[in-house]
């Protein structure tokens, strides 16, 4: 029963994509829109296939920038969250600054990073990391501090060390929060890396999209966009799979396997 539900869920999800592409195709053909304004999905997929070597060659640098930026954000966010969760001093000192830093639009800093770091890998990794960082900190800190105080008191009355409490109780308790944050952050890292490539890169899908836009090769631009969303979806799925593996005890809690 469950397997059937899962498969029909997948079929439904594929159906939504298909309906979207069909509507798009019908719209473009029906309105007679010019290819340079909006190419049909069939033309886009044809371009994707024709230029596959060029496009895939530019996909890899973008993936690296997203993943590296995300990992930096996850690692540093996690450590700072531990500080915030366990030290009132760190919490009160850093929280206002974190919020202030978060409201600065990181995308607007991209031109500055071009000046600081030049053209290359660094600016896009930095933007991706900065933009992905905040949800990790907030969620992890929230997860670590949401452990039931009575349970902690019990553990302390047993003589549990800080280490035992952290690894046996608090960390696993916070993991669902951490994964929820990672899912948001990985998609933000995609945005960050692409913005970096718009401004300070001569490789990557962001560069391809920007360049195709300038040269009015709209089909290539759309092909790049499709590839970029495919990358984003795959990275998101990778986190979902990791989450399923780490939180396998939750497996039977979930009633709708199609919700990611």
Partner 1 sequence: MPDAPRIRIEDLDVRYRTRDGWVSALEGITLDVVPRSFVSVVGPSGCGKTTLLKVVSGILRPSGGRVLLDGGPIDPVALAGQFGFVFQRPLLLPWRTALDNVALTAEIVQKERPRADRLAEARRWLELTGLKGFEGRYPHELSGGMQQRVSLARALTFRPRVLLMDEPFAALDEITREAMQGELLKIWAHIENTIVFITHSISEAVLLSERVVILTPRPGRVQEILDVPFPRPRSEALRGERGFTELVEHIRARLRVEGASGGPQG
Q: Should residue 146 be labelled a site residue for partner 1 when binding is judged by CB under 8 A?
A: no
Structure tokens, 204: 């990557």
In this structure, how many other beta carbons lie within 10 angstroms of the beta carbon of residue 40? 19
Instruction: Please name the residue that has the structure tokens 């105080």.
Output: 149
Q: Which C-beta is closer to partner 1: that of 34 or that of 156?
A: 156
Output the CA–CA distances (angstroms, integers) from residue 55 to 48, 61, 187, in the order listed: 7, 11, 20
Q: Which C-beta is closer to partner 1: that of 30 or that of 149?
A: 149
Q: Should residue 159 be labelled a site residue for partner 1 when binding is judged by CB under 8 A?
A: yes
CB of 155 to partner 1, least distance (A): 7
In this structure, how many other beta carbons lie within 10 angstroms of the beta carbon of residue 71? 15
Q: Which C-beta is closer to partner 1: that of 60 or that of 154?
A: 154
Q: Which C-beta is closer to partner 1: that of 151 or that of 216?
A: 151
CB of 160 to partner 1, least distance (A): 5
Q: How far apart are CA 67 and CA 60, in angstroms?
A: 11
- Residues 236-255 binding partner 1 (CB under 8 A) are 247, 249-250, 252-253
Question: Using CB under 8 A, which of 12, 75, 168, 215 touches partner 1?
Answer: 168
Question: Exposure pattern of 6-21 as b/e (b: 16+ CB <10 Å)?
Answer: eeeeeeeeeeeeeeee
Applying CB under 8 A, which residues contact partner 1?
Answer: 148, 150-151, 153-160, 164, 168-169, 172-173, 247, 249-250, 252-253
């Amino acid at each position: 029963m469950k397997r059937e539900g899962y498969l029909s869920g997948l079929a439904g999800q594929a159906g939504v994509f298909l309906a979207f592409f069909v509507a798009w195709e019908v719209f473009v053909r029906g309105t007679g829109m010019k290819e340079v304004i909006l190419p049909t999905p069939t033309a886009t997929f044809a371009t994707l296939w024709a230029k596959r070597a060029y496009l895939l060659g530019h996909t890899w640098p973008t993936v690296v920038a997203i993943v590296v930026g995300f990992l930096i954000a996850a690692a540093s966010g996690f450590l700072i969250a531990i500080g915030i969760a366990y030290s009132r001093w760190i919490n009160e000192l850093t929280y206002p600054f974190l919020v202030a830093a978060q409201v600065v639009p990181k995308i607007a800093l991209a031109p500055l990073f071009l000046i600081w770091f030049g053209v290359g890998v660094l600016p896009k990794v930095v933007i991706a990391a900065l933009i992905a960082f905040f949800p990790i900190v907030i969620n992890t800190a929230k997860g670590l501090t949401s452990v039931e105080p009575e349970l902690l008191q019990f553990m302390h009355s047993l003589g549990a060390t800080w280490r035992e409490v952290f690894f046996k109780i608090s960390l696993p308790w916070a993991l669902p929060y951490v994964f929820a944050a990672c899912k948001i952050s990985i998609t933000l890292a995609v945005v960050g890396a692409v913005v970096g490539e718009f401004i300070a890169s001569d490789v990557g899908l962001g560069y391809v999209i920007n360049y195709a836009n300038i040269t009015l090769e709209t089909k290539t631009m759309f092909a790049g966009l499709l590839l970029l969303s495919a990358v984003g979806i795959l990275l998101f799925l990778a986190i979902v799979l990791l989450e399923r593996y780490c939180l396998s005890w939750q497996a039977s809690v979930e009633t709708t396997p199609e919700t990611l």
